[in-house]
């Protein structure tokens, strides 16, 4: 399917691995100019080399800590100075942070909100002027279904993801008239970089014997009886970034094989 992304400029935060890299990969294959942001330049360079093997659009990586407003301002000044616009923003940067309420403290909560909520705010504010001026924009916030219905011991991630879902809906109401569409993808069990790290830690601790056993255990509560692939999430993100999704805004789409207890 031609998604019509040729000539579009896309920025993906947390784009050096996992879901972010998969989304960048697909959009670059579809002809978009893609800029991936992450903190570690060596990981960015590796991802750029990999994505470049199949890209028909251009791909570049810029080191950026999205939790730092000055770092975001610098990165987007460079992007806008070079390309003149940003059409697509994927706010993907984040990491799992699940604790009990008893173990939640100010430092843990502040750090999580700064990365997942303020990071998305900083990046969105940087791209909205060009999107509104051009009357075309797509912002896709990556959250989790736990932000809709939080299980126990999922703090502060479920709090920050709930904020991301609420922010998505509010932004969609404000910017729809400018043809800036804002959606969120609520990720479930996916073969992401974060889950691979957890799988490897489980093997190291003796909890499981192989990473595949870890994934099998993770999908026992998933109706389709498997974990998802990062590229499957990337496909959905790329679709939402395209004109094929031109009447979808303000939605929170579960990408979890049916595991969430809510629609």
Domains of the chain: 9-188+230-255 (3.40.50.720)
Three-state SS for 221-254 is: CCCCCCCEEHHHHHHHHHHHCCHHHCCCCCCEEE
Contacts of 113 (CB under 8 A, 6+ apart): 156, 159, 160, 163
Per-residue model confidence (pLDDT) at position 192: 87
Per-position pLDDT tens, the chain of length 263: 789 999 999 999 999 999 999 999 999 999 999 999 999 999 999 999 999 999 999 999 999 999 999 999 999 999 999 999 999 999 999 999 999 999 999 999 999 999 999 999 999 999 999 999 999 999 999 999 999 999 999 999 999 999 999 999 999 999 999 999 999 999 999 998 888 899 999 999 999 999 999 999 999 999 999 999 999 999 999 999 999 999 999 999 999 999 999 99
CA gap 192, 234 in Å, rounded? 11
CA gap 229, 246 in Å, rounded? 25
User: Distance between alpha carbon 217 and the CA centroid of its chain, in Å?
Assistant: 24
DSSP letters spanning 14-62: TTTSHHHHHHHHHHHHTT-EEEEEES-HHHHHHHHHHHHTT-SS-EEEE
Contacts of 240 (CB under 8 A, 6+ apart): 138, 140, 181, 183, 185, 248, 253
Per-residue model confidence (pLDDT) at position 194: 84
Element (H, E) at 163: helix 157-175
**147 vs 3, 43, 67, 163, 261, CA distance in Å?**
29, 29, 20, 8, 12
Closest CA to 164 of 187, 144, 150, 190: 144
CA gap 58, 117 in Å, rounded? 29
Q: Model pTM?
A: 0.97
Per-residue model confidence (pLDDT) at position 73: 98
CA gap 27, 186 in Å, rounded? 19
Contacts of 92 (CB under 8 A, 6+ apart): 12, 13, 14, 15, 19, 20, 23, 142
Q: Could you give the residue ranges of the DSSP H alpha helices within 41-156?
A: 41-52, 69-83, 106-113, 119-134
């Amino acid at each position: 399917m031609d998604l019509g992304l040729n000539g579009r400029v896309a920025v993906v935060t947390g784009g050096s691995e996992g879901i972010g890299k998969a989304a960048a990969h697909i959009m670059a294959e579809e002809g978009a100019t893609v800029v991936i942001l992450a903190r570690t330049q060596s990981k960015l360079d590796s991802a750029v080399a990999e994505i470049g093997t199949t890209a028909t659009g251009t791909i570049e990586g810029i080191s950026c800590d999205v939790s730092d407003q000055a770092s975001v301002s610098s990165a987007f000044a460079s992007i806008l100075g070079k390309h003149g616009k940003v059409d697509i923003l994927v706010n993907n940067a984040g990491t799992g942070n699940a604790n009990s309420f008893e173990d939640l403290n100010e430092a843990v909560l502040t750090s999580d909100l700064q990365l997942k909520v303020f990071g998305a705010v900083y990046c969105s504010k940087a791209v909205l002027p060009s999107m509104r001026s051009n009357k075309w924009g797509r912002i896709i916030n990556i959250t989790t279904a736990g932000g809709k219905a939080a299980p126990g011991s999922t703090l502060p991630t479920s709090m920050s993801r709930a904020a991301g879902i609420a922010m998505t809906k509010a932004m969609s109401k404000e910017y729809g008239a400018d043809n800036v569409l804002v959606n969120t993808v609520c990720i479930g069990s996916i073969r992401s970089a974060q889950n691979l790290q957890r799988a490897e830690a489980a093997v190291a601790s003796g909890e499981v014997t192989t990473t595949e056993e870890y994934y099998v255990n993770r999908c026992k509560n998933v109706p389709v009886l498997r974990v998802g692939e990062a590229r499957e999430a990337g496909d959905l993100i790329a679709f939402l970034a395209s004109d094929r999704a031109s009447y979808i805004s303000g939605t929170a789409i579960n990408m979890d094989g049916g595991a969430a207890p809510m629609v």
